[in-house]
A = this chain, B = another copy of it.
Amino acid sequence: MRRIKVIISYDGSGFEGYQIQPEGRTVQQELEAALLVIHKGSAIRVAASGRTDAGVHAIGQVLHFDTPLGIPGDRWPKVLNTRLPADIRVLHAEEVPESFHARFSATGKTYRYIWELAEVPSPFRRHFASPSRGGVPDIGRMKTGAAHLVGTHDFTSFCSAKTDVADKVRTVEEIRFEEHGDELHMVITGSGFLYNMVRIIAGTLWAAGTGLLDPADIPGILTAKDRTQGGKTAPPQGLYLEKVHYGE
């Protein structure tokens, strides 16, 4: 068996998220369906770095699978892309040692969150950015708020109350803001993220930027360890899984 590492990009707007579930189209389902055809009916299971929710996009999701086929690593993008729907594209593939695991070998992730600031949101961006609904944020206030989140903290206030992992301590390495024309991007890198954590951070920093919340309140929100203290969960269409890090 060869282990193949694959980097994929997908438009999340047509999916009920990454992971296979009883109903609705998912990215994993499409990948495994393509692999089933390539393997002439033998089921091949795919392991991803993690899930993404319905409507959330990926620029660089990473996954691996094991195959008995002798197809060289760099041929896999073409082999898969001809069998995948156009909203999933394989950007890169390579053979890796069996010790590599898309999820367990990951040392961190970078996500990008995009807001569209135009007063009338573009019809072309409605699935690909979060509308500002006329709000114009003070980016300085967003940066002040973000600085309180960088570091190692218990992020209980910044994850879905449904999260069932015990340890909610995570390290946020960097939160960076970029302005691209009518868009504001937040780029966040960390060792790991809890369920909805990036979207809640985005929603909280947006609230800080638009005056709904004082950036100085963020340390108190962290120590409260209470989801109801954090900001709203920002909508999924603004979120992109940009890169999965493997200690490069």
Contact = CB atoms under 8 A, between A and B. Distances in A.
A111 interface: no
A88 interface: yes
State the number of copies, please: 2
B123 A87 contact: yes
A121 interface: yes
A124 B81 contact: no
Contact of A87 (B10, B11, B89, B126): B126
Interface in A1-55: 9-11
A197 B11 CA distance: 31
Nearest to A12: B123
Interface in A84-133: 86-91, 120-124, 126, 128
B123 A88 contact: yes
A203 to B, nearest CB: 20
Contacts of A87: 123, 126
A141 interface: no
Contacts of A77: 120
A64 interface: no
Q: Which of A81, A88, A123 has the most CB of B within 10 A?
A: A123
Contact of A123 (B9, B121, B126): B9
A57 interface: yes
B86 A126 contact: yes
A102 to B, nearest CB: 19
A84 to B, nearest CB: 9
B120 A90 contact: yes
B122 A89 contact: yes
Given A89-B121, A90-B120, A121-B86, A126 B81 contact: no
4 closest Cβ pairs, A-B complex: A11-B123, A86-B126, A87-B123, A89-B123
20 contacts: A9-B122, A9-B123, A9-B124, A11-B123, A11-B124, A11-B126, A77-B120, A81-B120, A86-B121, A86-B123, A86-B126, A87-B123, A87-B126, A88-B123, A89-B120, A89-B122, A89-B123, A90-B120, A91-B120, A124-B128
